[in-house]
Amino acid sequence: MTYLPKPKFHHPDIETNSLGFSHRDYEGPISTLCAGCGHDSISGAIIKACFELAIEPHRVAKLSGIGCSSKTPTYFLGQSHGFNTVHGRMPSVLTGANMANRELLYLGVSGDGDSASIGFGQFAHAIRRGVNMVYIVENNGVYGLTKGQFSATSDKGSKSKKGVANTDSPIDLVAMALQLGATFVARSFSGDKGQLVPLIKAAIEHKGAAFIDCISPCVAFNNHDGSTKSFDYVRAHNAALNTLDFITGQAPITADYAPGTVEEVKLHDGSTIKLHKLAADHDVRDRGAAINALHRVQSRGEIATGLIFLDDEPDDLHANLNTVLRPLNRLNDADLVPGSAALDKINAGLR
Amino acid sequence: MPIQSVNDFVVRFANVNGSGSASANQLFARSIIRMGVPVTPRNIFPSNIQGLPTWYEVRVSEAGNLGARGGTDLLVAMNPQTWADDIAGIEPGGYIFYDSSRPIPKSQFRDDLTIIGVPLTEICNKRYTDARQRQLFKNIVYVGALAALLDIDFAEVEKLIDEQFKGKEKLIAPNHEALHMGRDYARANFACPIGLRVRRADNVGDRIFIEGNQAAGLGAVYGGASVCAWYPITPSTSLAEAFMAYCKRLRVDKETGQNKFAIVQAEDELASIGMVVGAGWNGARAFTATSGPGISLMQEFLGLAYFAEIPVVLFDVQRGGPSTGIPTRTQQSDVLTCAYASHGDTKHVLLFPEDPYEAFEFGALAFDLADRLQTPIFVMLDLDIGSNHRLCAPFKWDDTRQLDRGKVMTAQELEAGKEFGRYLDVDGDGIPYRTLPGTHAKRGAYFTRGTTKDRYARYSEEGPDYVDNMERLAKKFDTAKGLVPGPVARPASRQTDLGVIYYGSTSPAMSEAAAMLAGRGIHLDLLRVRGFPFSREVTDFIAAHERVFVVEQNKDGQLRTLLMVECGIDPAQLMPIVHYDGNPITARFIDRAIGEAVNQIKERAIP
């Protein structure tokens, strides 16, 4: 029923956040993706994270490339400016947008085709530059809009819907992000909102390049036996290194912790990440160890999820460029134009 | 008979890359300018960094002809590798200046040349022990010798050295000494001056001497650009570097030391233009500088920027085709690829500066046009303008001028309930209002995409919505005709039915050629096109002439094609005069080509 507009009315007692916004204020039009698509769950998680953090929707810029995943920004945060760019090039557009106005929250949504193939270079360089952003890859291992070709994140040996095995080695975007210097690296699963929502919240509060690889099964082309990106396969092989709660300064701590080691990570803005360590030996602040953990889990045939690495004192592009705190798009003529006296001096030096 | 000429000759320096000759050669050129005589230098640099040939050609012209002339009157032969070709290029009765430390057999010269051998290496080896000093001062020694031979005022050369080493005073005396060694040797061994001579004049006026790329970079500062994303490519690199240097000088907050600009060297041209699109979308003035291959890589994004209507500025410093070699030579061969860049029905605004003055002017103006028209604006430089110093009018800035930010709807307007449709033509000029991300909590947000949308930026795959949008874009392009700089007409001194259209770096050679042709009785009305889309004045000019020569520096007559297609001109009315060997077009070439064409027209007219 995606052709029907969403009704505008809602329950009079609908829950609101500290801004007085309800969950509905963070939604967009009805999704046109296939029923049951993992991507819609991720959209839901983004909505929930933004609602719970009481983000002003219009202070978010959502950017995407091309593909099923890149269509999703239409379906959340309807009050945010969105930009559906070109295939694989969202990272550069996001970088430029961020250069122009450092004050907004930049949410880059991409897919595995978009980021691991055509846009692999842009993915890498945006991360290298430490652009302050939340970069989410909705990773389903196939090209959906063109009907089921393998993507570069497909595991070797994983079978297509027609039964053909993939012969190429996969690109692990999490390993890449770690190597490239991302200061927040996580992996999650669209079917596990309990893990995903706090990860998105923590990524939003992170003031650097935050990357989340979210396995998101394609119900149309990659949800069959023999696929390593199907719901069943991912559920059976999910090795969560930790689960977490993200607690802002104001919010009460209500979460119910299952037994396990709990580590509190205090962030500079006063918020806290409560980390439930499931793999006792995983230290999220050790980049080298994170890369090792990733390989160790992978060699067991499992998928490592959770917060994989965090640098809680990140650098960002603006710090590196030493730009003024006022967004560049708000600089006025007096800031920008040096005037005739300066020009006369320049002329004098050119004779 | 040796050539005799005062203030009108060409000196060609044949050097070895990396030998430090560039600053010495520039010293030579500037000292003549300081004597009030116009000079135009040109670098000819093959795609190498060290050890291979490079040339610096200096045209001295009291009459103020700034185009390349062709031919050499005095060769300064500092590179044995290119000796034979360099000698062959000297005009009959010309001069050769060379390092005579090692004897060169007479057969290696030409009988008609005046040979001036100065043992530069010997002089330097005697005076200096350090190898690098021997190399670098050799260049200054030859400047000293040339100054004596050409009667250049020594006080001017010395003053330039003093200015150059301001702050490094220790270097002044040794440079003066090297200069004197050259001068003294020349005076002791040759009758100074030779037949070529510089005589003080007053033809430079208040003009400045600057490279087009540097001027365009400064123009971007004055145009309010705050974001630059670029990828190194010859010959555009120095434009981004100039922007950076001027920003460091003019745009650093004095209190905090923080930058009112952001410059990123991107990983490739796709990312450069992507960042510029992102920044333009978000309301900062942004640009990239590139050359033909970069434009090719940016095609997809240019289409998106066109359809999504995002202000973008590109400086295209044109050169030859793919890979290396000819690419470090000059051409005007990106006209069509820029005019129609990308897929779908796209058309772009082009500006054609003729020199550094206009590179600055148009460099600044491009940002106003981009914001006003919400579309990519191309500033079409080329290597000849971009990478060479040129005398031009001093830059001007009117302090009452304000940056034109175009139609950006504010939070107050949205709050007051002003209707917002991102692609709605409210003023009848085809230009819609835009909002910047983050403007208003409840109103004005929209989703930016390529073509699939209606007037309110809602997703629509309906044919009529698409056509509606395309028709508005066509109207907008029509509006651009009145906003781009108009053509400059220079009528002939008498009535003629022959016209010439030209643009960009062809300008000085064309002016000189027109005078040469007029001297032979061929009178031409000139029209220098400065922008695309073409305004009414361009089509009127063509209509007013029986024949119009379109003079340009590419093989296919690209501007001619654009005139034919966009203005519906009969091809027979537009005669192509094209020059495309990688060297700048010369007045001699235009004079000959138009002369021959006019003869042919006459012959055909006689039954």
Of A79, A328, A342, the CB nearest to B262: A328
Q: How many Å lie between the alpha carbon of A318 and the closest alpha carbon of chain B?
A: 8
Report yes or no on B203 lying in a domain: no
Of B225, B266, B437, the CB nearest to A81: B437
Residue A2: predicted pLDDT: 54
CB contact under 8 A, B264 and A78: no
Q: What is the pLDDT of residues B196-229, one digit of tens each?
A: 999 999 999 999 999 999 999 999 999 999 999 9
Report yes or no on B115 lying in a domain: yes
Mark whether B48 and B186 lie in a shared domain: yes
pTM value is 0.95
Residue A249: predicted pLDDT: 60
Query: Domain end: B484, B505, B523, which one?
Result: B484
Mark whether B428 and B559 lie in a shared domain: no
Mark whether B15 and B93 lie in a shared domain: yes
Alpha-carbon span B358 to B315, nearest angstrom: 13
Query: Domain end: B436, B456, B484, which one?
Result: B484
Mark whether B277 and B184 lie in a shared domain: no
CB contact under 8 A, B253 and A324: yes
Mark whether B365 and B452 lie in a shared domain: no
CATH of the domain at B335: 3.40.50.970
Alpha-carbon span B461 to B351, nearest angstrom: 34
Tell me the torsion sign for CA atoms A136, A138, A144, A150. Answer: positive
Alpha-carbon span B366 to B404, nearest angstrom: 11
Q: What is the pLDDT of residues A199-212, one digit of tens each?
A: 999 999 999 999 99
Structural domain count, chain B: 4
Report yes or no on B402 lying in a domain: no
With a cut of 60, say whether residue B284 has pLDDT above it. yes
CB contact under 8 A, A333 and B403: yes
Sheet holding B525-528, edge to edge: B488-490, B525-528, B498-502, B547-552, B574-578
Q: What is the 3-state secondary structure (H, E, C) of B429-452?
A: CCCCCECCCCCCCCCCCCEECCCC
Residue A260 DSSP SS3? coil
Q: What is the pLDDT of residues B438-454, one digit of tens each?
A: 999 999 999 999 888 99
Q: How many Å lie between the alpha carbon of A109 and the closest alpha carbon of chain B?
A: 14
Alpha-carbon span B469 to B309, nearest angstrom: 11
Alpha-carbon span A228 to A217, nearest angstrom: 9
Report yes or no on B399 lying in a domain: no
Residue A271: predicted pLDDT: 77
What percent of chain B has pLDDT above 70? 99
Report yes or no on B159 lying in a domain: yes
How far from B129 is each of B119, B134, B135, B535, CA to CA, in Å? 16, 7, 11, 64
Least confident residue range of A278-287, B4-13, B405-414: A278-287
The one-letter code for the residue type at B541 is F
Going by C-beta distance under 8 Å and a sequence separation of 6 or more, which residues neighbour residue A209?
Answer: A126, A127, A129, A130, A131, A132, A133, A135, A177, A181, A182, A183, A184, A314, A316
Structure token pair of residue B194: 């030779």
Mark whether B257 and B382 lie in a shared domain: yes
Mark whether B75 and B112 lie in a shared domain: yes
CB contact under 8 A, B395 and A125: no
Instruction: State the residue for tokens 């006459």.
Output: B602
A83 and chain B in contact, CB less than 8 A: yes
Cβ A138 vs Cβ A72: under 8 Å: yes
Residue A272 DSSP SS3? strand
Q: Which residues of chain A have pLDDT under 50?
A: 1, 251-257, 259
A320 and chain B in contact, CB less than 8 A: no
Of B531, B529, B546, B536, the closest CA to residue B490 belongs to: B529
Mark whether B379 and B263 lie in a shared domain: yes
A16 and chain B in contact, CB less than 8 A: no
Of B535, B531, B425, B429, the closest CA to residue B479 belongs to: B429
Mark whether B580 and B601 lie in a shared domain: yes
Report yes or no on B202 lying in a domain: no
Structure token pair of residue A345: 């001096």
Q: At what angle do helices B131-150 and B120-127 cross, to 10 degrees?
A: 130
CATH of the domain at B537: 3.40.50.920
Report yes or no on B135 lying in a domain: yes
The whole-chain average pLDDT of chain B stands at 95
Residue B540: predicted pLDDT: 98
Of B62, B379, B332, B331, the closest CA to residue B215 belongs to: B379
Mark whether B413 and B492 lie in a shared domain: no
Listed as own residue / partner, the contacts of B401-404 with beta carbons closer than 8 Å and 24 or more positions apart are B402/A333, B403/A333, B403/A336, B403/A337, B403/B223, B403/B224, B403/B285, B403/B367, B403/B368, B403/B371, B404/B368, B404/B371, B404/B372
Least confident residue range of A13-27, B294-308, B508-522: A13-27
E-only strand ranges, B352-478? 376-382, 389-392, 447-448
Q: Say how many residues make up chain B.
A: 607
Mark whether B382 and B461 lie in a shared domain: no
Residue B554: predicted pLDDT: 96
Domains of chain A, CATH where assigned: 23-348 (3.40.50.970)
CATH of the domain at B101: 3.40.920.10
Find the helix or strand (DSSP H, E) in which B210 lies: strand B208-211
B209 and chain A in contact, CB less than 8 A: yes
How many Cβ atoms sit within 10 Å of the Cβ of residue B568? 8
Residues in B touching A351 (Cβ below 8 Å) = 33, 206-209
Alpha-carbon span A99 to B578, nearest angstrom: 43
Cβ B218 vs Cβ B246: under 8 Å: yes
What percent of chain B has pLDDT above 90? 92
Burial of A256 (0-12, 13-18, 19+ CB in 10 A): exposed
Residue A257: predicted pLDDT: 46
Residue to mutate among A343, A344, A345, with most B CBs inside 10 A, is: A343
- Burial readout B66-82 (b: 16 or more C-beta within 10 A, e: otherwise): bbbbbbbbbbbbbbeeb
Mark whether B554 and B479 lie in a shared domain: no
Radius of gyration (C-alpha) of chain A in whole angstroms: 21
Least confident residue range of A213-222, B146-155, B215-224, B346-355: A213-222
Q: In terms of residue numbers, what domain contains B578?
A: 488-605
How many Cβ atoms sit within 10 Å of the Cβ of residue A341? 9
The one-letter code for the residue type at A323 is T
Task: Give the residue, B548 or B136, on which the prediction is more confident.
Answer: B548
Residue A240: predicted pLDDT: 87
Alpha-helical (H) ranges within chain A are 38-52, 68-71, 90-100, 112-113, 120-128, 173-180, 193-205, 231-237, 287-299, 317-321, 333-336, 339-348
Q: What is the pLDDT of residues B529-586, one digit of tens each?
A: 999 999 999 999 999 999 999 999 999 999 999 999 999 999 999 999 999 998 999 9
Alpha-carbon span A241 to B469, nearest angstrom: 51
Report yes or no on B105 lying in a domain: yes
- pLDDT band at residue B314 using 50, 70 and 90 as cut-offs: very high
